[in-house]
Amino acid sequence: MPILGSSAGAVKAAPGVPTIDTVTATNATTVSLAFTNPSFSKLPITSYTVTSSPSIALSVSGSSSPLTVTGSFATNTAYTFTMTATNTVGTSSSSTPSSSITPDGNYTLALTANTSQMWTVPNSVSKIAVFAIGAGSAGNGGGNSAGGAGSGGGGGGVSAFKDYSVTPGSSYSITVGTGGNIAGGIYGSGNGGGQSSFSTLVYGDGGADSQGWDLGHIGGNGSSNIAGSQNASGGNGGNGGANNVGTVGNNGGNVSINLSGLGSISYQAGGGGGGGGKGASTGSGQINTINGSAGGAGGSFGGGAGGAGGSSSEDNPLPGPAGTSSNQRGGGGGSGSGGRAYNTSNGTFQNGGAAYAGAGGVGVVYVYTAP
């Protein structure tokens, strides 16, 4: 007969009951199930089985925590999970059900942030998608005489990601970039746009500072620390019209992400502002008004148009009109250069003066949530 205290006669049995710790949705068809092994098992555990409620066919991979569980989960349906452990003798009883989770939840637009703020994850939200778009830079002021038109500002870049797992009650900092300040005065240099961001996860850079009064500002870039993110650059600003019309601002790049329940969601980076036009130049005896060259159009999305060059006639040179400011994420337009005219009272030429360029548009951050 067995000796008391000896393991020789110990009864080998099915494992004890495992404990499910957490369940996290990886995407619409996959969840990650973290668990603790049963405290009792005389024999090695050979497999784990996971069951869902509501019940669907599941595929389970992994031999230790966490398990990867895959299935065709119904949209906007909450699931709980139980699991069992098996060894060569038998199978354990089912674990206590996990907390509920909705792997394939439809997205909704939860926040359009036009100002910097803290955002707290609402209850029942398990994943988010974010689009961050930087602010546009201001255009450059033109010269006070014909030929010195200012350049357009650069558009803000964009970056986006989706299906990032979050915990209700967690807070994230949102920074919304400020548009570049208007540049005034002769050859005034427009400031760059501010960066927009969502925590440290995604960044939309603002349009760059001036690289020369008649050279278009460079558009900002997008970047992210999330795998699978999409990024696009803002459009470069148009050059000032040294000899003719201002150059058209470039279009901003585009990102497009498919969100469950909404389909393809697209946002465009800011367009570059158009360059200002060349001012007219008139000599002695030129009584009829000559108009300056046209400013360049702003690029899509939101690039401001460049101002036309100033008009001129004898004794009446006019300033170049201001470039158009952008409402959102686009670069401001460059101002047109002033006209140049003959002054009959002193026999010299006089200039019409310089105008303000357009301001850059403010950035924006969009947050989408799903259960």
**Does residue 234 lie in a domain region?**
yes
Kindly list the distances between the CA atom of residue 152 and the CA atoms of 87, 220, 355, in Å, as whole numbers in the listed order. 71, 14, 13
Total-model pTM: 0.77
What is the rounded CA–CA span in Å between residue 93 and residue 66? Answer: 19
The two structure tokens encoding residue 46? 């050979």
Query: Which residue shows structure tokens 């910097």?
Result: 116
**Does residue 3 lie in a domain region?**
no
Same structural domain, 158 and 24: no
DSSP string, 121-167: PPTT--EEEEEEEPPPPPPPP--SSTT-PPPPPPPPPEEEEEEEE--
Which pLDDT score is estimated for 236?
94
What is the rounded CA–CA span in Å between residue 100 and residue 88? Answer: 31
Q: Which domain holds residue 35?
A: 19-86
**Does residue 324 lie in a domain region?**
yes
The tens-digit pLDDT sequence of the chain (371 residues) is 444 444 444 578 889 999 999 998 777 889 999 999 988 778 889 999 999 999 999 999 999 999 999 999 998 899 999 999 999 999 999 999 999 888 888 899 999 999 999 999 999 898 999 999 999 999 888 877 766 788 899 999 999 999 998 999 999 999 999 999 886 667 888 899 999 999 999 999 999 988 877 888 999 999 999 999 999 999 999 888 867 788 899 999 999 999 988 889 999 999 999 988 888 888 888 788 888 888 889 999 999 998 888 888 888 888 888 889 898 888 888 887 777 776 777 777 777 776 778 899 999 999 999 98
**Does residue 11 lie in a domain region?**
no
Same structural domain, 357 and 240: yes
Same structural domain, 192 and 336: yes
Q: Strand, helix or coil at 328?
A: strand
Same structural domain, 204 and 331: yes
Same structural domain, 231 and 148: yes
Query: Which residue shows structure tokens 């367009």?
Result: 271
| Domain end marker among 86, 114, 144 | 86
Say how many domains are in the chain.
Answer: 2
Q: Strand, helix or coil at 204?
A: strand
Tell the burial category of 63 from Cβ atoms under 10 Å away from its Cβ (0-12, 13-18, 19+). Answer: exposed
Dihedral angle of Cα 36, 42, 46, 50, to the nearest 10 degrees: -40
Q: HSE of 224 in the Cβ direction (CA atoms, 13 Å)?
A: 24
End-to-end alpha carbon distance in the chain: 60
Same structural domain, 132 and 281: yes
Same structural domain, 140 and 59: no
Same structural domain, 81 and 158: no
Handedness of CA 24, 259, 110, 113 (dihedral sign): positive
Same structural domain, 116 and 77: no
**Does residue 82 lie in a domain region?**
yes
